[in-house]
Structure 1
């Protein structure tokens, strides 16, 4: 066909499907602001208590061996129930699930701040995790269905990814500041006014989103995948605490793998599966989520490794170590703002590969950290900044890849899978790296031994980032979206 004859067809196509401008309308800006504030708050909750754990233990009488359950109880429920709640949002309405789960988060946060017993705090953390498991995929599905595929969605996902990652870093900083200046209870109370503000505004600006054809809920699939994820997350957290040979870790991991195999077999047989296998056969969905998992495993666990290094090797306080991660948070914010522009000028694949290479190079640079404070921090701060930029390019590229090419009726499933990859990655990264450090130090707790263990774990971390680059280059080649 000649260029002259093709021109009228292109013009007609543009009239029928006009390109979506990058500029947002007033209502869409409000929608974006509400969803971003909620996503940022949910990300903060993943890390805000990490620095405060010793103070909580002293205040409520947690034994040292049970202190880990403050974090583990949240991680188990947040990661294990994400896919199930993402699908329930498709069935009953994402706006309804989003608002209801935020209400639960506010109530659980208030309970956590007021509790006077270890049992009450664990119940509050489980409720916070369940609320996060429901609100995160529902919020992302509302975002992807509110903004059409293309520049607007890429911009929205870029801002969302930046604030998610920055929220994780901000949580570490806020946890130290609030615990030192006020009380660990304010790490819970902080959520309450934010939740109230979102619940007042969101019903007025966010439209309901759900498929017109609502299938039945696949209960066998839901139970098997939820229990399987719970088993994996439990096994990983126990491995990080007690080592890979611990019977509880091995039992959890084995049970998790077996249940996920059962889930796969169930999905092959049922007429209306929780996760249609045809969706998982899409390269962008399957391999995009692998990249997301690796992105969150590496960067969030690096925060743990560098916290350990700064406190145990360089002798920094928890507050100073937390504030140092402000540079990483700035890097993720810059990366989130750059990612949509890089995708628009190149492609999603180029963004994934370039971001992974940047993250890998600057993670590997941290192998040269030493015992001297000034030269080590002169290396650590720029390396975490540029590593954060690269990591955010990967995260935004992963979100665009894993949610592209799917109809609105499957966006809850797509964002549920993406959120599951995010939360499992956040959950499993730290225990895996902790187990590596523990094995490398062989029980020694000197500054030099901690440095050696952290260095080995950083090398593994950089290798995982490199694996992500290889996965993107090999399995997503040919996708220019």
Structure 2
């Protein structure tokens, strides 16, 4: 069901607008705006959860009795299910109803957040975090597929994805700033309580506003595919999360990583023979799906590394306080929001593929500009460069989402958006273990930071060239 402010709803005997000639008007009806608000609020809530707890971890650990080495589980307990189950729930939503699953995910997320708020020991807190991650694994792909099936392909969907991408970026940045303020004034439990309130508001509004959406047919769920891909993603995310804390030296880290890769290879084999595959391999052979997700993986993973090493640089080398560091990232968030207001227009004018490649080039160049920082000064340069890089980063987020989902039929939108959101989660997970460890293991932290920034910039620029070639930027196709 698509909400279009200018085009009559399609139905029996009514021709749908041709994707090749989408309506150019981006104006939305009042109801469409409310639907967009509900879906974006849910995405913002999940993005907030990724970062709002980070600065509260030392206080939380002291209160609940979590050792410093065990604090990583406050993050890992959320990351494992939120990344591991995304593809599965994206497909389940296609088959059994996206709205129903979205509401169930909201209820689970809110209940889990309440458990984390009231936690009385480490076990209860970590259980709450794990259930939050499971709820997020339901909310993110179902919310995205509801968005792409509600708003018709063309300027309206581009605008909706632009707003969603902006709030995703703002949610992550807001969480970093808000987490510190709330922890200092109200205590760490307030960060989890905020998520309870968010979930409650969205859960009240969503049933009345969102349309039900599902595929017309209900084929069997690909159980072997679900088991192998979920197990593979869980193993890979666990190993990389562990590596971020302890490095790659542990046998369990390598062992789990190898198991994860083996399961993902088995998944590809299973899908090639399944009658009703969880993932359509022909879909993965589409240039827009394959190379769009490559661009998304690089932009997420490499920006997470930059934020990580800049936090170390600002606090441990320049000596900025947590509040001052938060202000730097606050400026970054404002710049991202500004970019979000123009991304859809750029996509409408130049096409999503061109905007994706251009955004990756800009992100890489502004990350390279960070190499000009020094040991005595550099806060201003860091603020300006990270803000400009983040503007390009947001352009890449929005354009890769449009690239991947354009031209995909409604019955496969949950799968396409599941791939998009899985790319996001894996990108956020792999960057710091792969590169961030270089900054903390060298003799000089400053030299480590500069080394990581240089490698990061090269990877992003190389990805821009590869994605441009892979997408075949010829002609005037919009996506």
TM category (shorter chain) comes to over 0.9
State the shift of 1:18 in Å.
Answer: 7.2
Which one of 416, 425, 428 corresponds to residue 426 of structure 1?
428
Q: Which residue does 1:5 correspond to in 2?
A: none
Which one of 4, 20, 23 corresponds to residue 19 of structure 1?
23
Which one of 442, 445, 448 corresponds to residue 440 of structure 1?
442
Q: Which residue does 2:292 correspond to in 1?
A: 288
State the shift of 1:353 in Å.
Answer: 1.8
Q: Does 1:311 align with 2:315?
A: yes
Q: Does 1:49 align with 2:44?
A: no
Counterpart Cα distance in 2 of 1:75 and 1:208: 28
- 2:347·2:478 contact (CA, 8 Å) conserved in 1? no
Sort the Cα spacing of 1:67 and 1:469 in 2 relative to 1 into closer, same or farther, 3 A. same
Sort the Cα spacing of 1:15 and 1:467 in 2 relative to 1 into closer, same or farther, 3 A. closer
- 2:335·2:391 contact (CA, 8 Å) conserved in 1? yes
Q: Which residue does 1:298 correspond to in 2?
A: 302
Q: Which residue does 2:169 correspond to in 1?
A: 165
Give TM-score scaled by structure 1 length: 0.93
Q: Which residue does 1:380 correspond to in 2?
A: 382
Which one of 227, 230, 248 corresponds to residue 226 of structure 1?
230
Counterpart Cα distance in 1 of 2:46 and 2:262: 30
- 1:159·1:337 contact (CA, 8 Å) conserved in 2? yes
State the shift of 1:196 in Å.
Answer: 1.3
Greater Cα shift, 356-365 or 266-275: 356-365
Counterpart Cα distance in 2 of 1:464 and 1:87: 32
Runs of 4+ more than 3 Å apart: 13-18
- 2:314·2:379 contact (CA, 8 Å) conserved in 1? no
Q: Which residue does 1:141 correspond to in 2?
A: 145
- 1:102·1:131 contact (CA, 8 Å) conserved in 2? yes
Counterpart Cα distance in 1 of 2:277 and 2:404: 19
Which one of 91, 96, 101 corresponds to residue 97 of structure 1?
101
Which one of 351, 360, 367 corresponds to residue 363 of structure 1?
367
Which one of 449, 454, 459 corresponds to residue 454 of structure 1?
449
- 2:365·2:461 contact (CA, 8 Å) conserved in 1? no
- 1:289·1:417 contact (CA, 8 Å) conserved in 2? yes
Counterpart Cα distance in 1 of 2:306 and 2:164: 21
- 2:52·2:191 contact (CA, 8 Å) conserved in 1? yes
Q: Secondary structure at the match of 1:345?
A: helix
Sort the Cα spacing of 1:18 and 1:190 in 2 relative to 1 into closer, same or farther, 3 A. closer
Q: Which structure 2 segments of 5+ residues have no match? A: 1-14
Q: Does 1:473 align with 2:468?
A: yes
- 2:366·2:388 contact (CA, 8 Å) conserved in 1? yes
Which one of 140, 154, 157 corresponds to residue 158 of structure 2?
154
State the shift of 1:432 in Å.
Answer: 2.1
State the shift of 1:318 in Å.
Answer: 2.2
Counterpart Cα distance in 2 of 1:99 and 1:155: 24
Counterpart Cα distance in 1 of 2:264 and 2:254: 15
Summarize the alignment of residues 117-132 of structure 1 with structure 2, pairs less than 5 Å apart: 117-132=121-136
Give TM-score scaled by structure 2 length: 0.93
1:140-171 Cα offsets, whole Å, 9 max, x none, are 00000010000000000011111101111111
| Root-mean-square deviation (Å) | 1.5
Aligned residues: 460
